[in-house]
Chain A
Amino acid sequence: SQKIEQNSEALNIQEGKTATLTCNYTNYSPAYLQWYRQDPGRGPVFLLLIRENEKEKRKERLKVTFDTTLKQSLFHITASQPADSATYLCALGGSTLGRLYFGRGTQLTVWP
């Protein structure tokens, strides 16, 4: 069956450290992967998109990797801050999929 798994439901790290979130998938062949941030009681906000032919993408303190052999994407937040505390969702997409498929999300807490 098709699955999208995001590492542990909750991740707690100290301010200033690098947070690493994982998104693993099985039985999908996505052409791209998107990451979203969701704050409590609000809708997700798009952060980054990475295509299957891209190994890495960066945006300010964010870095995303995409390994189609391992069927995994890693999402890094460097120099994390308490304001980065939120739930982060990965989503797979592509023409063969027809639409986006979302993981359950990882709740990140950055403590001072």
Chain B
Amino acid sequence: DGGITQSPKYLFRKEGQNVTLSCEQNLNHDAMYWYRQDPGQGLRLIYYSQIVNDFQKGDIAEGYSVSREKKESFPLTVTSAQKNPTAFYLCASSIGGHNSPLHFGNGTRLTVT
């Protein structure tokens, strides 16, 4: 079955540590996205990539970094510079184009203490 896999489902880290969230898709989609979801807030775009080896900042990129070395993979690193890293992180992909529906993974819940 095609889909997007995010791992792990739950992640715990100590403050001051960098952590990398995994996102893999086998849908052959060109575009991939990272969103953050907090209670009572809409999805906020962190980074997106429309093609391999290229990515753009979203609305809340500070304290995060990404890479897109392979079409299938778009890992997100939450750095120690991110002031409020505890959140639910969602990865998505689409075939590209402005009206393409997004296919989401089931998220990683990151808790930083």
CA of A9 to CA of B43, assembled, Å: 15
Is residue B104 contacting chain A, with contact meaning CB distance below 8 A? yes
In terms of DSSP, what is the predominant structure of the interface of chain A? loop
Report how many A-B pairs have Cβ atoms within 8 Å: 54
Is residue B41 contacting chain A, with contact meaning CB distance below 8 A? yes
By a CB distance below 8 angstroms, the chain A residues around B58 are: 99
Q: Which residue on chain A has the smallest CB distance to residue B58?
A: A99
Is residue A46 contacting chain B, with contact meaning CB distance below 8 A? yes
- Contact partner of B40 (CB less than 8 A), chosen from A4, A9, A34, is A9
Is residue B107 contacting chain A, with contact meaning CB distance below 8 A? yes
By a CB distance below 8 angstroms, the chain A residues around B101 are: 34, 46, 49
CA of A22 to CA of B48, assembled, Å: 28
By a CB distance below 8 angstroms, the chain B residues around A42 are: 106-107
* Interface residue tally for chain B (C-beta within 8 Å): 22
For residues 76 through 113 of chain B, which have their beta carbon under 8 Å from a beta carbon of chain A? 90, 92, 98-99, 101-107, 109
By a CB distance below 8 angstroms, the chain A residues around B2 are: none
By a CB distance below 8 angstroms, the chain A residues around B105 are: 43
CA of A100 to CA of B94, assembled, Å: 12
- Contact partner of B45 (CB less than 8 A), chosen from A4, A94, A99, is A99
Q: Which residue on chain B has the smallest CB distance to residue A32?
A: B99
A–B pairs, 29, beta carbons within 8 Å? A9-B40, A31-B99, A32-B99, A36-B102, A41-B106, A41-B107, A41-B109, A42-B106, A43-B4, A43-B92, A43-B105, A43-B106, A43-B107, A44-B102, A45-B104, A46-B102, A49-B101, A51-B99, A89-B42, A94-B98, A94-B99, A97-B98, A98-B98, A100-B102, A102-B42, A102-B43, A103-B42, A104-B40, A104-B42
Task: Using CB atoms and an 8 Å cutoff, list the residues of chain A in contact with chain B.
Answer: 4, 9, 31-32, 34, 36, 41-46, 49, 51, 89, 93-95, 97-100, 102-105
